[in-house]
Amino acid sequence: MGRAYQNRKDSMAKTSDAKARIYSKYAREIYVVAKAGGLDPAGNLSLRSVIERAKKDQVPTHVIDKAIDKAKGGAGENFEVARYEGYGPGNCMVIIECLTDNSTRTFNDVRLCFTKTKTKIGTQGSVSHMFDHLMILMFAGKDEEEVLDALLMADVDVIDIENEDDTLTVFAPHTESFKAKQALTDAFGDLDYEVDEIQFIAQNMVPLAGDNTEIFDTFIEMLNDLEDVQNIYHNVA
């Protein structure tokens, strides 16, 4: 099927400034998850997942540790998830996920990116119905049929499994994430996940051409420069 899931960090990690932004965004996510679910990754699976992703993206250990230490205090910033949707150049569809301590500021910052590129921010639900909200697990070295059997035995609602060069990618509803990983751990022990994420995946991809391509690149760069933006999902091929 070749589902086009996206890795925002890959697109950003081109300069030292971009790496610093990646570190900052991971630090914020680790702080929020640790504060909400506990400081021990063994008992906070969400925290363990974020830390593993951060390490894969070469976030220094001291950045991770500092974010967890900050969460120990209990006080501090109170972040909330904010999600914005809209239409980019060529009428492509975009979903922007943020962690913010000031939703008014974040909305204005995101809206300005739309305004400056002459695109249109939408209302909640305006484009998200054209995306699937999925859990994605990618790992190597296991038999596809055995993996599927393990997931089905645990009543995981598997949407798709892709097999490419002996690397499996499992797609399931985002609500099945914990159950799916527990089923795989029970069947195969600890797995080294190349990808362990929850994303919005477009149901249909669209190509851009001409000026729209350049405008889209500018639009994404502007969003990536916003400190509150954590993830950007779109349907551009």
Residue type, 69: D
Reported as a pLDDT band with limits 50, 70 and 90, residue 45 is confident
> What is this structure's pTM?
0.85
Name, in order, each residue with C-beta under 8 angstroms of 135's C-beta and a sequence gap of 6 or more: 170, 171, 172, 173, 174, 176, 177, 180, 197, 198
Residue ranges and CATH numbers for the domains of the chain are: 8-72 (1.10.10.200), 80-129+203-234 (3.30.70.980), 131-200 (3.30.70.980)
Question: What's the pLDDT at 19?
Answer: 83
Joined tokens for residue 117: 């590129």
Question: What's the pLDDT at 1?
Answer: 47
Task: List, for residues 126-157, the tens digit of each pLDDT value.
Answer: 999 999 999 999 999 999 999 999 999 999 99
List strands edge to edge, sheet with 229-234: 120-121, 80-87, 93-100, 229-234
Exposed, middle or buried: residue 113 (CB in 10 Å: 0-12, 13-18, 19+)? buried
- Nearest Cα neighbor of 157 from 171, 140, 142 is 171
CB atoms within 10 A of CB 166: 10
Average pLDDT over residues 67-94: 90
Question: What's the pLDDT at 78?
Answer: 85
Cα 192 to Cα 141: distance, rounded to the nearest angstrom: 10
CA–CA distance from 219 to each of 89, 118, 157, 213, 216 (Å)?
Answer: 9, 10, 35, 10, 5
End-to-end CA distance of the chain: 14
